[in-house]
Amino acid sequence: MAVLLLFLFLAISTVSTAADDAFIGVNIGTDISDMPSPTQVVALLKAQNIRHVRLYDADRSMLLALANSGIEVTVSVPNDQLLGIGQSNATAANWVARNVIAHVPATNITAIAVGSEVLTALPNAAPVLVSALKFIQSALVASNLDRQIKVSTPHASSIILDSFPPSQAFFNSSWKPVMVPLLKFLQSTGSYLMLNVYPYYDYMQSNGVIPLDYALFRPLPPNKEAVDANTLLHYINVFDAIVDAAYFAMSDLNFTNIPIVVTESGWPSKGNSREPDATVENANTYNSNLIRHVQNNTGTPKHPGIAVSTYIYELYNEDLRPGSVSEKNWGLFNSNGEPVYKLHLTGAGTVLANDTTNQTFCVAKEGANPKMLQAALDWACGPGKVECSPLLQGQPCYEPDNVVAHATYAFNAYYQKMAKSPGTCDFKGVATVTTTDPSHGSCIFPGSGGKNGTFINGTSLAPSSNSTTSGCASQYIDSGGSLMSVVIIGVLAMSAVFL
Ligand SMILES: *[C@@H]1O[C@H](CO)[C@@H](O)[C@H](O)[C@H]1NC(C)=O
Ligand SMILES: *[C@@H]1O[C@H](CO)[C@@H](O)[C@H](O)[C@H]1NC(C)=O
Ligand SMILES: *[C@@H]1O[C@H](CO)[C@@H](O)[C@H](O)[C@H]1NC(C)=O
Ligand SMILES: *[C@@H]1O[C@H](CO)[C@@H](O)[C@H](O)[C@H]1NC(C)=O
Ligand SMILES: *[C@@H]1O[C@H](CO)[C@@H](O)[C@H](O)[C@H]1NC(C)=O
Ligand SMILES: *[C@@H]1O[C@H](CO)[C@@H](O)[C@H](O)[C@H]1NC(C)=O
Ligand SMILES: *[C@@H]1O[C@H](CO)[C@@H](O)[C@H](O)[C@H]1NC(C)=O
Ligand SMILES: *[C@@H]1O[C@H](CO)[C@@H](O)[C@H](O)[C@H]1NC(C)=O
Ligand SMILES: *[C@@H]1O[C@H](CO)[C@@H](O)[C@H](O)[C@H]1NC(C)=O
Ligand SMILES: *[C@@H]1O[C@H](CO)[C@@H](O)[C@H](O)[C@H]1NC(C)=O
């Protein structure tokens, strides 16, 4: 037992580089027909106390909006730019100059994700993947930014084979020629392994073998817990098992000190008839439990207490994403900033705990008489003592210059000033309460973003409607998972015997 404990202790101490507190971040995909402006995105992030984001590109207007926001940013080299960067040091240096150096330190870029699931999504770029990382790293070194900005590449968990029991996991040997130099690079630069972890797909492909509760971090009866017969570690959720499988797959190649950051994890809230477990209830349970699990610094059975920071997939539902219904419904929020569901996070820290479902605004009623609106507007900005200067020409809420828009601003400012008390959103019947934030462009309404009308200067920023690659969840449907589920059968069977 003493030997075992000592062994465990050594194992823990080797991954100490990640011993800071784990954080929750979010991915921001942009395949959205009415993509909010960068200013609105940042207002939502701030209201939700989200301090870590990953972009799927390095969109200039988004990076400008994130400047001086206190939010840490992972930018990405989209897969379609990877070949060029991996083949040319100069192209890489150029990319870094334009997308990183131009924005730091105002925008706190802390990592560069080079490609997305390259080995499984774009295998023909695999031979240049490590060169791409190295070229980008040398450009950072040349600018003395390599300490604050880490370079890595997000992997699909399907590159890990025999994930159960986790202690037997190894990387698909087809990728050994890439993984060994990649891990050497991560180790020598103090970076981390980026891993996308989708218990949803493992559950879906297991044909009922993986209990839903096990995928959703719900309590399991002891006889359903999975026990790794080699390590005697108990697994009570799929997420931990996949992360530990990645640690073991790295050890299999003799790398024992590389931390893991989960670059994507989540659960869809809606699906078609063949996706019956993509429900609001399950998505809420998964993401709420995931956030608690990560923020508790629980670590994994193999490395208890070691931070596994995780980016939730994803901030917004992406209605333009191709594929099944679930593909469009991984978001925590609709594009208008309304939460898709209210996370159960009481006592789990502050991130995302500021649910906005109770956030209400006062707006001019549709079809209200313009004369009555004007009278009410005059009252609000006069006797009502509303601060109406944002409505003046040249100010952020001047446009659109019509009585409905201006009355809406003034009604809402009054309503918020009166702490939304009953009767303060009436204005002789021409006003009504809504949960939709009427903010637009740089005109941020009082009550929006949890702040009193703090707005970020984004007047000149165009909405980033031209998205490049976004999260690549769909490929899991065809690949990965199946082996995992076979082995889970083994483990569940084994644990039944064992206990
Ligand atoms: C950027 O993030 C790093 C890592 O958390 C932090 O140490 C640093 O203070 C941040 N910089 C700014 C300018 O906020
Ligand atoms: C790539 O460029 C950097 C400067 O940006 C230089 O320091 C490095 O030696 C170059 N590497 C190669 C392999 O050419
Ligand atoms: C390993 O990777 C290769 C190359 O992508 C793939 O063809 C093969 O199916 C993978 N093996 C398994 C067991 O998934
Ligand atoms: C890992 O190290 C062990 C012991 O030093 C050695 O036998 C083994 O070949 C190494 N494995 C790899 C993949 O380098
Ligand atoms: C939080 O961590 C403690 C140990 O550090 C553990 O006992 C507890 O179960 C964890 N809670 C959750 C919700 O993970
Ligand atoms: C919302 O967040 C602010 C700061 O981010 C915090 O002071 C406040 O307590 C939070 N409100 C709730 C209900 O959690
Ligand atoms: C939301 O509103 C309901 C009904 O007004 C109230 O019972 C609940 O406490 C509110 N929740 C928060 C977090 O303010
Ligand atoms: C909140 O509003 C008050 C009065 O309108 C203003 O003085 C203050 O600067 C605002 N706070 C922020 C953070 O914008
Ligand atoms: C926005 O920024 C521009 C240029 O930095 C500045 O001239 C303008 O006054 C700012 N507007 C607001 C509303 O802060
Ligand atoms: C968006 O993409 C379209 C077609 O690719 C292009 O015509 C348009 O100029 C782009 N818009 C912006 C704002 O980049």
What number does the ligand 6 atom closest to the CA of 350 have?
A: 14
Q: Which residue has the higher pLDDT, 60 or 440?
A: 60
Kindly report the number of other CB atoms within 10 A of residue 466's CB atom. 10
pLDDT score, position 311? 98
Q: For residue 350, give the nearest of 73, 46, 18, 38 by alpha carbon.
A: 46
To test the pocket of ligand 5, the residue of 237, 298, 310, 344 to mutate (highest count of ligand atoms within 8 Å of its CB) is 298
Distance from Cα 40 to the centre of ligand 1, integer Å: 22
Whether residue 136 is predicted with pLDDT greater than 50 in this model: the reply is yes
User: Is 293 touching ligand 5 by the criterion CB < 6 Å?
Assistant: yes
pLDDT, tens digit, for every residue of 64-119? Answer: 999 999 999 999 999 999 999 999 999 999 999 999 999 999 999 999 999 999 99
**Does residue 219's CB lie within 6 angstroms of at least one atom of ligand 5?**
no
Q: Spell out which residues line ligand 9, taking CB within 6 angstroms.
A: 396, 457, 459
Instruction: Quote the mean pLDDT of the chain.
Output: 84
Q: For residue range 429-438, list pLDDT tens digits in order.
A: 898 877 667 8
Split at pLDDT 50, 70, 90, the class of 495 is very low
Band of the pLDDT at 376, cuts 50, 70, 90? very high
Ligand 10 atom closest to Cα of residue 464: 13
Ligand 5 pocket, 298 CB below 6 A?
A: yes
Q: What is the pTM of this model?
A: 0.68
Closest ligand to the CA of 93? 2
- Counting ligands in written order, the one closest to the CA of 21 is 1
The yes-or-no verdict on residue 497 having pLDDT over 70 is no
Pocket of ligand 1 (CB under 6 A): 72, 105, 108, 110
361: CB partners within 8 A, 6+ apart: 412, 415, 416, 433, 434, 435, 436, 437, 438, 445, 447, 448
| pLDDT of amino acid 218 | 87
Determine the Cα–Cα distance for residues 76 and 57; give it in Å rounded to an integer. Answer: 5
Classify residue 101 by its DSSP letter: I
The set of protein residues with a Cβ atom below 6 angstroms from ligand 3 is 123, 161, 172, 174
Domain ranges of the chain: 16-356+468-498, 361-434
Q: Any idea which residues carry the catalytic annotation? A: 117, 264
- Taking the centre of ligand 2 as the mean of its atom positions, its distance from the CA of residue 142, in whole angstroms, is 8
Q: Which amino acid is at 305?
A: G
Which of 148, 120, 146 lies closest to 133, judged by CA?
A: 146
Q: If you average pLDDT over each of 176-185, 283-292, 419-428, which comes out highest?
A: 176-185
Closest CA to 5 of 231, 222, 237: 231
Q: Tens digits of per-residue pLDDT, 240-260?
A: 999 999 999 999 999 999 999
The pLDDT of residue 493 is: 38
Output the pLDDT for position 421.
Answer: 80
Instruction: Give me the pLDDT at residue 482, please.
Output: 37
**How far away, in angstroms, is 119 Cα from ligand 10 center?**
29
- Give, rounded to a whole angstrom, the gap between the first and last alpha carbons of the chain: 19
349 CB near ligand 6 (under 6 Å): no
Q: Average pLDDT in the 30-34 region?
A: 96
Phi-psi region of 70 (alpha: psi -120 to 50; beta: other; left: phi over 0): left
Closest to 244 (Cα-Cα) out of 168, 309, 176: 168
Atom of ligand 4 nearest to the CA of 254: 1
Residues with CB under 6 A from ligand 10: 462, 466
pLDDT at 460: 16
Give start and end residues of each alpha helix (H) in 30-117. Answer: 38-47, 60-65, 82-87, 89-96
The H or E element spanning position 414 is helix 403-417
Rounded to the nearest whole angstrom, what is the distance from the C-alpha of residue 480 to the centroid of ligand 3? 9
Q: What pLDDT shows up at residue 479?
A: 34
The ligand with the least distance to the CA atom of 300 is: 5
- For residue 457, the model assigns a pLDDT of 23
Ligand nearest, relative to CA of residue 135: 2
Choose the CATH number for 16-356+468-498 among 3.40.50.300, 3.30.70.2190, 3.20.20.80, 3.40.50.720.
3.20.20.80
